[in-house]
Amino acid sequence: MSKKIIHTDHAPKAVGPYSQAVQLGDFLFCSGQISIDPKTQDVFTGDIKTQTEMVLKNVEAVLKEAGLNFSHVVKTTIFLTSMSDFAVVNEVYSTKFTAQPPARSTVAVSALPKGVNVEIEVIANKNA
């Protein structure tokens, strides 16, 4: 079984030496997405609701490139610079994971790349 690198221009370019996602067998391991507009590569650091919407749109673009969608996601990790944003992030997140939501961890961190306040990574499986 060999790994396949997944890349789409509909999600932000990697800001370091990593791939947007790696597919191995039935699994897709997606790198964390932040609130970068893939068309302009501009970073949005405004309100947390808009940041989260942008992040999930970027996640969706990577999933789509691999022929998957949010229903295939089995695990997510959310990184927040402030746990006071937890409720708003949950509100936006719940619009994408309505039935049988994936397993999830939420971690408070001191900082995230480019000064954003939320980052989300996912693991998906084509048989989910």
Average pLDDT (30-49) is: 97
Per residue in 69-103, pLDDT tens?
999 999 999 999 999 999 999 999 999 999 899 99
DSSP code per residue over the chain: --EEEE--TTSPPPSSSS-SEEEETTEEEEEEE-SB-TTT--B--S-HHHHHHHHHHHHHHHHHHTT--GGGEEEEEEEES-GGGHHHHHHHHTTT--SSPPEEEEEE-S--GGG-SEEEEEEEETT-
Fold of 3-125: 60s Ribosomal Protein L30; Chain: A; (3.30.1330)
**Domain limits, the chain:** 3-125
Per the prediction, the chain carries an average pLDDT of: 97
pLDDT at position 18 is 96
pLDDT band at 15 (very low <50, low <70, confident <90, very high): confident
Supply the pTM of this predicted model. 0.96
Asked if residue 1 has pLDDT above 90, the reply is no
Per residue in 48-74, pLDDT tens?
999 999 999 999 999 999 999 999 999
Asked if residue 122 has pLDDT above 90, the reply is yes
